[in-house]
C-alpha cells in the first residue's frame, strides 16, 4: 500500500558518519558512457554504477534541464570524486559498492511509485550502503527523486537530498534535505571545477544526514564562493548573450 506524503518515512542513523559507506542516487540522467542512454521522452529504467567508476566514464542523458556543467564535471550532480576525498580524509567510512542513475522525467507515475522506486531501494538494501545522498535534474526530477528517497528510507537506510527546487521537493515529503540557495538546475553541488563549493555542499548534506532532527526539515544554505555562469538562469534555461 502506498504511503501518504503526510506520513514521512524516516530511518534514524545508527552509526557515525566516519564509519558509514555512502551511496549516490541521482535523477539527473547520469549513466556510464557504455550503457544505453535514457529515453528523452520519458524513461522508468535505471542504471547501476559501480563504486570504482571514473568520473570521465560517466555522462548525462536528459533533455529537460541544462546539463552542460555536468557534461564538463559530473561532480556537479554526481559527486563521486568528492566522496572519495572524504574517505581519504576520514570524514566518511567508504564509498558504497553500488550507485544508481535515473532520468527523473517520468510520465509513468504509477509504475514509478509501485515498481521502480521500491526496486531501486531494494538494490541499495542488498548492497553495503549505510547512507544515501540524492540529487536531481529538472523540476519534475526534484519530485521524482523524493519518491525514490522515501522508498530507500522505508528499507532502513537514512538518506539526504540536495534539492534545487525546495518547494517541489517539499510537496513530496523528503525525509532530510538541504537547499543550496541560488544554484541553477544542473549545479546541485556547484559549478564545474568548483571543488571547494562542491565539498561544502556535500559536507552540509552529510551534516544534515547526521543531525537528529525531525523529518521534512530542509536546511537552507548560502555559498558565497559559488561562481554563477551568466549563460544559465536560476531555472536552468540557456540565456542568450551577444
CA separation, residue 46 to residues 29, 34, 234 (Å): 9, 14, 27
Q: What DSSP string runs through 102-113? A: EB---S-HHHII
- Reported as half-sphere exposure (CB side, CA atoms, 13 A), residue 119 has a value of 12
Q: How confident is the model at residue 7 (pLDDT cuts 50, 70, 90)?
A: confident
Q: Of 132, 79, 203, nearest to 70 (Cα)?
A: 79
Report the C-alpha gap between 185 and 129 in whole angstroms: 27
138, pLDDT greater than 80: yes
More confident residue, 6 or 134: 134
Domain that holds residue 46: 17-221
Residue for cell digits 556547484?
A: 190
- State the chain's mean pLDDT as an integer: 93
Report the C-alpha gap between 47 and 24 in whole angstroms: 12
pTM value? 0.94
**CB-based burial label for 119 (10 Å; 0-12, 13-18, 19+):** exposed
Q: How confident is the model at residue 240 (pLDDT cuts 50, 70, 90)?
A: very low
Report the C-alpha gap between 81 and 84 in whole angstroms: 5
Grid cell, residue 26, equals 541521482
47, pLDDT greater than 60: yes
Q: Of 102, 30, 82, 70, nearest to 187 (Cα)?
A: 70
- Report pLDDT for 233: 65
Residue 236 covered by a domain: no
pLDDT digits (tens, 9 = 90+) for 77-108: 999 999 999 999 999 999 999 999 999 887 78
Cβ(122)–Cβ(48) below 8 Å:
no
Report the C-alpha gap between 176 and 215 in whole angstroms: 6
Residue 99 covered by a domain: yes
Residue 7 covered by a domain: no
Residue 226 covered by a domain: no
Residue 4 covered by a domain: no
- Report pLDDT for 239: 44
Residue 1 covered by a domain: no
Residue 55 covered by a domain: yes
- Reported as half-sphere exposure (CB side, CA atoms, 13 A), residue 214 has a value of 4
Name the DSSP class of 238. B
More confident residue, 234 or 44: 44
Tally of domains in the chain: 1
Cβ(173)–Cβ(153) below 8 Å:
no
Share of the chain above pLDDT 90, in %: 88
Rg (CA), the chain: 16
Cβ(3)–Cβ(111) below 8 Å:
no
Q: How confident is the model at residue 4 (pLDDT cuts 50, 70, 90)?
A: low
Cβ(226)–Cβ(180) below 8 Å:
yes
> Residue 105 belongs to a domain with what CATH number?
3.40.50
Q: How confident is the model at residue 234 (pLDDT cuts 50, 70, 90)?
A: low
Amino acid at each position: 500500500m502506498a504511503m501518504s506524503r503526510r506520513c514521512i518515512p524516516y530511518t534514524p542513523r545508527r552509526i557515525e558518519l566516519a564509519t558509514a559507506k555512502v551511496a549516490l542516487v541521482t535523477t539527473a540522467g547520469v549513466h556510464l558512457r557504455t550503457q544505453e542512454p535514457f529515453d528523452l521522452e520519458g524513461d522508468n529504467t535505471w542504471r547501476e554504477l559501480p563504486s570504482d567508476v571514473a568520473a570521465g566514464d560517466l555522462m548525462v542523458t536528459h533533455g529537460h534541464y541544462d546539463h552542460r556543467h555536468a557534461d564538463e564535471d559530473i561532480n556537479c550532480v554526481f559527486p563521486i570524486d568528492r566522496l572519495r576525498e572524504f574517505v581519504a580524509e576520514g570524514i566518511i567510512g567508504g564509498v558504497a559498492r553500488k550507485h544508481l542513475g535515473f532520468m527523473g522525467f517520468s510520465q509513468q507515475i504509477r509504475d514509478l511509485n509501485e515498481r521502480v522506486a521500491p526496486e531501486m531501494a531494494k538494490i541499495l538494501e542488498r548492497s553495503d550502503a549505510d547512507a544515501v545522498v540524492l540529487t536531481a535534474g529538472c523540476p519534475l526530477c526534484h519530485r521524482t527523486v523524493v519518491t525514490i528517497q522515501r522508498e530507500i528510507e522505508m528499507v532502513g537506510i537514512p538518506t539526504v537530498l540536495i534539492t534545487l527546487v525546495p518547494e517541489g521537493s517539499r510537496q513530496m515529503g523528503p525525509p532530510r534535505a538541504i537547499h543550496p540557495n541560488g544554484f541553477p538546475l544542473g549545479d546541485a553541488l556547484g559549478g564545474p571545477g568548483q571543488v571547494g563549493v562542491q565539498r561544502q555542499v556535500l559536507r552540509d548534506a552529510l551534516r544534515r544526514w547526521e543531525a537528529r532532527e525531525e523529518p521534512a526539515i530542509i536546511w537552507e544554505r548560502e555559498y558565497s564562493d559559488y561562481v554563477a555562469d551568466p549563460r544559465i538562469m536560476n531555472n536552468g534555461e540557456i540565456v542568450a548573450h551577444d
